[in-house]
Amino acid sequence: MSLVDSALKSARKLVDGMGNGGVAAVHASNKLFGDGFELTCLGWAIRGVDPVNLCSWEEVNHVGDNKPNELGFVRDFSYKYKINAVHYYGYPSKLQETQFFVDDLGPLKTKLREYKREDMKEKMTVSEAMEILKESGKKAINESYLEQVNVEELYSLALESLFFADQVHLWHWTCKSGFHHTHLQEVYESLRDFADELVEICLASGKKFQVKANTRELGGDGEFDVQDAIDEIEEFIDEIQATAKVFKEESEITTLIDDEAKALTKEIGLLKSFS
């Protein structure tokens, strides 16, 4: 999934969560992209990609002086329409009202409602929608696939990763090769970072940390065997990749797992090369 596609997916959730209608769009550079439209915004641009909910439009026919300042920027520019919108930065507390200025609305002229003063008592304003969302904390603007499934499986995987990191740490202490000692440290540090990032993602979805008891036993009594270690690391990679398939609709989870699998595979290759 591309960055723009991911942002548009978040924008659709924002529109659904606000509950007062609107059109999902992506703001990138000086453009607004959405389903069936691409508009050029006047006056300002951004680096990166932001999901937005386009809420309403006004015909203002503003006439500016269009004179650039000493830096070449036009402070007072002309535009025909103003689009009222909400930027989405991930959580209710990070909603921000914004406006876009365009000369042509394209298909948005029929997709969006026109802003009229007499409608104010009947139709929720952007500010009112934002306040409701911030107060409740339960509306679906930051709803993700994680909130629709049992994330206990992910919390359990994070705990399993920590236990496995302890196992690798024992190998790190008991191996006889300095090379193995160094790269086993890379493995257990990577596992702990992975567990922490996984839990942080789950906590951000609003699901509290809760797992079943883990009874894994550490094996550190016998002589270290590098092939046994490689086999167990490969089994762990298979386990996290199987989890990624279950949560395939959540790109943040699948990306994290994919990155961890690549990091561990790299260390396996080094362990095999110098065994």
pLDDT digits (tens, 9 = 90+) for 160-197: 999 999 999 999 999 988 999 999 999 999 999 999 98
Alpha-carbon torsion (17, 19, 20, 21), positive or negative? positive
Mean predicted lDDT score pLDDT of the chain: 78
Domain ranges of the chain: 3-142, 145-273
Instruction: Please list the alpha-helical segments (H only) found in 84-150.
Output: 108-111, 126-136
Q: What is the pLDDT of residues 221-273, one digit of tens each?
A: 557 889 999 999 999 999 999 888 888 777 788 889 999 999 999 999 999 88
CA angle 6, 10, 3 (to 5 degrees): 20
pLDDT at 234: 94
According to CATH, the topology of domain 145-273 is Ferritin (1.20.1260)
Which residues are bridge partners to 49 per DSSP? 28
Q: How far is CA 73 from CA 45, 50, 65, 245, in A?
A: 12, 23, 12, 49
For residue 93, what pLDDT band results from cuts at 50, 70 and 90? very low
Report whether 275 contacts 176 (CB < 8 A).
Answer: no
Residue position matching structure tokens 């609003």: 206
